[in-house]
Chains A and B, each alone.
Chain A
Amino acid sequence: MSSETKPEEKEEKVGVYICYCGGNISDHVDVEAVRDRVEKIPGVAVARTNMFMCSDPGQELIMEDLRDGIVDRVVVASCAPSLHEMTFRSAISRAGENPYIYEHANIREQVSWVHHGEQATDKATLLVSAATAKAVRLKPLEPIRVNAMSHATIIGGGIAGMRAAVDLADRGIEVALIEKSPFLGGQLALLDKLAPTREKASELVSHLASRVINHASIKVHSCTTVEHFEGYVGNFKVGIKKHPLESNAYKEKMKMLNPVHKSAEAFIPFAGVYSGPVPSAAEELVIDTGVIILATGIKSYTPYQGEYGYGEFPEVITLSDLIRNLAENNNGGSLLEINGRKIKSMAMIHCVGSRQIPGIHPEDASGHLNEYCSRTCCSALLNASNVIRETYPKTRVYEFYRDIRTYGRGQEELYEQASKNRVVFIRFESQEAPEVSKNGYSDEFPLLIKAKDILTFGEEVEVPVDLVVLATGVEPNEISKIVDMMKLPVGPDRFLLEVHPKLRPVELPVSGIFLAGTCQAPMDAGEACSGASGAAVKAAALLSRGYVELDPFVADVDIQKCNGTGACVEACLSDGALELVEMEIDGQKVQRAKVTPAFCLGCGACVAVCPENAIDVNGWTLKQYEAMVNAIVAE
């Protein structure tokens, strides 16, 4: 670091801009009094106020002073920096100055919203004085620029992973698609006629998978898992491992591969698209990559033993089982047949393993409750009911539900259609769930469902049935190893957590890592593809410049002061950010600390331990802190 510019050497000209926030601040802080007081602080060239500093005229005030050379440091006193720090930095850039000559004083959340009267005005003055003292010592900084590889790694080969892969590859970016199974297609490959359009899942999966397999810029790594991870945005290293069949869990599905299917691109019903030979021996590889997209998806919830008779009565099956049976059945009669039994009457039970309520539903073995709605089961169930009623008109269908959540385009129509198809709806309260038991009345129907029906004024109804289908919801796939390696945030629902649900919906807080599809939340296939295309665009935009810029708030070593004790290296929390290197100073070989800015977190752990005060964090130096504290305690 070049030696600290001393305020005495050159007169810095600080401009202070104080915001009324339309009354949000000025109702409690006497903004004009603050202005009068800070104007007198040495180093302050001008102090101005405005109703809304973030408005165009407000920003123009600042830009004009910069362009006129009246000020060369800027302090804005307004709301929290998370809201508008970027706004004001960018105004400074637009005025042709370095955006890092900026300091922010929060006099709304930290003052006007919590203090009143004289005290509020006094505290605002103190905070602005401290910011001004720091601003005097600010120096222009340059963002850290690192090269970014034009390569993306996508983890998960379901519909979302494939969509993102094709979008990125079409944009000219090399893609590695990592799939743990031997098949592409994920959950969608286990479905048939999709809600709400009855499109065939096999066609969607085949279409995308063949584009993936034949794309010159996409390399599919099937039977592969992620084992190692290091690096930073633009320059990640992903260590992967390919597993031979003996050690992977897909033996059963591989049996479905007959010799005809053994070529890539063949869609195998209820398995997916076979994407090429399974490795004969374990193999480890390292992929150098610029960005990572997680698309690890979901699995279907497995009911516990005895949940609505599951595992006790063979006539109780899951929605996934039903979908498969419907697809594989072609008996053609007027009654649905399942496992050779004619189904005259059947019940569908909604919300199994979803929307669980503490105190009502039991936690699973690892202590989890799925409190979320799985979002696809209502529509998938209604879709199946319609298919059944239209194909097998003699099979009666009863739907037991808590709420019908057919939220998307074309989905409410499924409910209407079900009414037209004479599906009977019975509504229950979560605490009074239907009971499935052996039918004691007659042998004609093996099971009886008892429910307290809200729609019949709370009367108890009994429905004799041949089959019970549980609308099992979804759970995120187990990816704790990846979560730990990449330090990703996970919500209480166990799905991955985006930075912001509306403003940054496909980004994870680790720069350069994105999410696509149902690893984020339950979604239908269309929504999973929207998310995936969004992530692909974000990733492509990030890589398009060939480099990425990181904030310059990182540690910086003063080589003149450093004597190589290495205390900083030991204190550093981020692997690879700090090391001792050998160098020659005045003809002597010495050890000195060296920072790799891209890895530095800017936390300052090193600053605290250096006995020589030889290391500092740019933009937050010790001298700057001292000046702020002095300004606060000075009276």
Chain B
Amino acid sequence: MTLIHHDFADQMDRFGGNTALECFNCGTCAAICPLIYEHFPRKMIRYLQLGAKDRILENAKELWRCLHCGLCSRTCPREADPGEVILGLKRYVVANWRKS
């Protein structure tokens, strides 16, 4: 069960790269990502969209797999900039690590 936190998307603004709500969940980024790992990075982007911050913290380690190769951002058909969103999420996790 994923409980939604309404203000999460706005809270993310100060961590940068908050374009997740532009994403329409096509999965192109997950297909192109060299990690080929469990819908990464779309899954993380989806959790951000929903405001499922518990899920993000639970799965925070996954964020550090990202190579920042930028392939996803280059192929995303919307302006969701998934690579940047992953970076923003890392900043968020670093800022909230201890609290959780």
A residues bordering B, Cβ < 8 Å?
Answer: 344-345, 396, 398, 419-420, 422-426, 441, 453, 455-457, 459-464
Contacts and interface: CB of A to CB of B under 8 A. Distances in A.
Given A424-B21, A456-B52, 16 more contacts: A345-B6, A396-B6, A398-B4, A422-B9, A425-B24, A426-B50, A455-B25, A456-B47, A457-B39, A457-B43, A459-B2, A461-B2, A461-B4, A461-B52, A462-B1, A464-B3
Nearest to A423: B21
Contact of B24 (A345, A419, A426): A419
Contacts of B43: 456-457
Interface in B42-93: 43, 46-47, 49-52, 78
Contact of B49 (A420, A424, A463): A424
Nearest to A418: B21
A459 B1 CA distance: 7
Contacts of A441: 3
Contact of A455 (B1, B4, B46): B46
A463 B51 CA distance: 10
Interface in B1-34: 1-4, 6, 9-10, 21-25
18 contacts: A419-B22, A419-B78, A422-B10, A424-B21, A424-B49, A424-B50, A441-B3, A455-B25, A456-B46, A456-B47, A456-B50, A456-B52, A459-B2, A461-B4, A461-B50, A461-B52, A462-B1, A463-B4
A344 B51 CA distance: 15
Nearest to A404: B24
Nearest to A462: B3
A228 to B, nearest CB: 55
A423 B9 CA distance: 10
Nearest to B22: A419
Nearest to B4: A463
Nearest to A459: B2
A504 to B, nearest CB: 39
**Residue with the highest number of chain A CB atoms closer than 10 Å, among B9, B25, B50, B52:** B50
B5 to A, nearest CB: 9
B2 A462 contact: yes
B60 to A, nearest CB: 17
A464 B7 CA distance: 12
A389 to B, nearest CB: 11
Contacts of A345: 6
Q: 9 nearest interchain CB pairs? A: A396-B6, A422-B21, A455-B25, A461-B2, A463-B4, A462-B3, A345-B6, A460-B1, A419-B22
A198 to B, nearest CB: 22
Contacts of B46: 455-456
A464 B51 CA distance: 12
A396 B9 CA distance: 10
A277 to B, nearest CB: 52
Given A420-B22, A455-B25, A344 B6 contact: yes
Contacts of A396: 6
A424 B43 CA distance: 15
Contacts of B51: 424
B2 A456 contact: yes
A304 to B, nearest CB: 28
B29 to A, nearest CB: 14
**Residue with the highest number of chain A CB atoms closer than 10 Å, among B4, B23, B78:** B4
A426 B24 CA distance: 11
Contact of B4 (A344, A420, A457, A464): A464
A552 B11 CA distance: 78
Contacts of A423: 21
Nearest to A396: B6
Contacts of A424: 4, 9, 21, 49-51
A455 to B, nearest CB: 5
A453 to B, nearest CB: 8
Contacts of A457: 39, 43
Given A396-B6, A424-B49, A461-B52, A419 B21 contact: yes
Contacts of B39: 457
Contacts of B1: 459-462
B89 to A, nearest CB: 16
A269 B7 CA distance: 36
Contacts of A420: 21-22
A143 B81 CA distance: 70
A185 to B, nearest CB: 36
A422 B1 CA distance: 22
B1 to A, nearest CB: 5
Contacts of A460: 1-2
Contacts of B2: 456, 459-462
A311 B43 CA distance: 37
Nearest to A445: B6
A459 B4 CA distance: 12
A459 B51 CA distance: 14
**Residue with the highest number of chain A CB atoms closer than 10 Å, among B6, B22, B49, B78:** B6
Contacts of A455: 25, 46
Contacts of B49: 424
Contacts of A453: 50
Contacts of B4: 398, 424, 461-464
A396 B1 CA distance: 20
A425 B1 CA distance: 17
B17 to A, nearest CB: 15
Contacts of A419: 21-24, 78
A420 B52 CA distance: 19
A398 B4 CA distance: 11
B40 to A, nearest CB: 12
Contacts of B10: 422
Nearest to A463: B4
A614 B10 CA distance: 89
Contacts of B21: 419-420, 422-424
B11 to A, nearest CB: 12
Contacts of B47: 456
A441 B5 CA distance: 13
Contacts of A344: 6
A423 B22 CA distance: 10
A420 B78 CA distance: 11
Nearest to B39: A457
B65 to A, nearest CB: 18
Nearest to A461: B2
Nearest to B51: A424
Nearest to A449: B4
Contacts of A422: 9-10, 21
A396 to B, nearest CB: 5
Contacts of B52: 456, 461
Contacts of A461: 1-4, 50, 52
